[in-house]
A and B are shown apart, each in its own frame.
Chain A
């Protein structure tokens, strides 16, 4: 059974129209990550949560926001999608250990976002 579930698998949104991607996990992991992956490139970390502590990457545009209402769910909000935001968005979780980071991360299947 899938342990990190992303919905939807495919999302088409209009230029400038807010869109939300969701991720849920059954692993009870402390850490949840959001990555952006463009074609044939490495996943690029946007931000991560350790429990409720939000950690934003310095180069993540303000257009990208995240919410984690509880341990199991995490959302990626794109306030005004541009054509350049079309990508695969990957959610991952890890048990995590604050300050040492000594655990593996498990990924969902990803959401392919298309902006028209």
Chain B
């Protein structure tokens, strides 16, 4: 089945630093989604990507859909303490099944 590899597993950074995380897949996806999850809550959608090569921003967040359709990255610029949480990539191939990466735990030191 489709699998996603997400890295890094965790990051502990200084407030103000930029952050980058990525996901790779063994197969092609039609959609890449990036979510943030706070403790005890459901994932919240940050960015949705639908086309190979697409680069989309949402405030300090930028994500790109890789041209091979097998990878995506998420960048966070000038991190702040409220960026703390778990970030998940998710991919959707043919059909409606949505699969998740293992998540990146982000900690920010102020």
Contacts and interface: CB of A to CB of B under 8 A. Distances in A.
B41 A109 contact: yes
Interface stretch (B11-19, B58-66, B72-80, B89-97): B89-97
Counting contact residues on chain A (CB < 8 A from B), the size range is 20 to 34
Q: Which of B41, B88, B102 has the most CB of A within 10 A?
A: B41
A115 interface: no
A41 B9 CA distance: 11
How many interface residues does chain B have, given as a range?
Answer: 20 to 34
A78 interface: no
Contacts of A101: 30-31, 92-98
Interface stretch (A13-21, A42-50, A60-68, A69-77): A42-50
B45 A106 contact: yes
Contacts of A104: 31, 33, 45, 48
B98 A99 contact: no
A103 B95 contact: no
A86 interface: no
Given A41-B102, A110-B42, 6 more contacts: A55-B96, A88-B40, A94-B98, A102-B30, A102-B92, A109-B41
